[in-house]
Structure 1
Amino acid sequence: MTTAHELDERYGRTGRRRLPWIIGGTLAVAVIIAFGWMTVATQMSAVDADDLGFEVVDAHSVDVQFQFTAPIGADVTCAVEALDVEFGVVGWKIVDIAGAEHHTKGVHVRIPTVAEATTGLVKTCWVA
């Protein structure tokens, strides 16, 4: 009588079936680790900006207050804009901010405008 082991050897069903699964599992784990690290690295250098308020000074300027959260010590650049009644851009300014000892920093900016603005806001910020 033949045993199961003898039949496996006769028809080539030895431990080779596990090798593709081991290789596939190793590759899947490597891909998951790589994507996880890319996500963490991206978030570590991300900048988040929030509007705090604005004040229309006159027909040709508006003050904008905002805060941003960035990595400690990172120089940050922000685009700040002033909008009119129809949400058209009537003024904008690029603001360079030196790195700080804290994650969060408040900023006050005066934007020159070509017409009277009805609002001012921070458009975006990024690590310089």
Structure 2
Amino acid sequence: MPADGEALAGRYGNTAQRRRTTRWLLIGLGAFIAVVMIAWAVWGSGLGSSASSLQYTDTANDPIDGQHITVSFAVDAPPNTAVSCAVEAQNIDFTVVGYDVVHLKPTAETHQVVTKSLITYEPAVSGSLDKCWLT
């Protein structure tokens, strides 16, 4: 006696209703993942925040002697916003041999040029701005 297709599908849980339910669950899961990814991208890019208007760049570095180096950098930040910047010095092997955090006070100016002298424990061949952030 041949087995009926619907009876087998019902026995093994592969009914039309179950397929529709599974399809809607997968569509819902996909939509949820898409919304989370879009929210994460918008949040990560800093859209709508003042952090998105913070820009900084190295301008110069000058090894003075075996224990000192100066690092110059420019910061563009929103007016009346405190900014902190990490500055580091590196030796010939790219090892960090000096590090300091510079705290810039809030000012009405949006562009600031800063020169920081670092003390190093080995002779430094370069100095650079690591990163800046709003405080």
Same fold (TM over 0.5): yes
Matches within 5 A, 1:58-77: 58-77=65-84
Shift of 1:103: 1.6
How much does 1:67 deviate? Answer: 0.4
The 5 Å alignment of 1:9-48 reads: 39-42=46-49, 44-46=50-52, 47-48=54-55
Aligned pairs, how many? 95
Q: Secondary structure at the match of 2:48?
A: helix
CA distance in 2, matches of 1:37, 1:114: 42
SS in structure 1 at match of 2:81: coil
**Percent identical across equivalent pairs?**
25
Aligned partner of 2:66: which letter?
Answer: A
Alignment-derived partner of residue 98 in structure 1:
105
SS in 1 for 2:116: strand
Q: Where do 5+ consecutive residues of structure 2 fail to align?
A: 1-34
1:120 aligns with 2:124: no
Could you say which residue in structure 1 is the equivalent of 2:118? 111
Secondary structure of 1:79's counterpart equals strand
TM-score normalised by L of structure 2: 0.64
Aligned to 1:4: none
> In the alignment, what sits opposite 1:17?
none
Deviations 1:88-107 (A, max 9, x none): 10001011110121221100
Q: Letter of the 1:121 partner, please give it.
A: S
Question: Residues of 2 paired with 1:49 and 1:94: CA distance?
Answer: 14
- Structure 1, unpaired ranges of 5+: 1-30
C-alpha RMSD of the superposition: 2.0
TM norm structure 1? 0.67
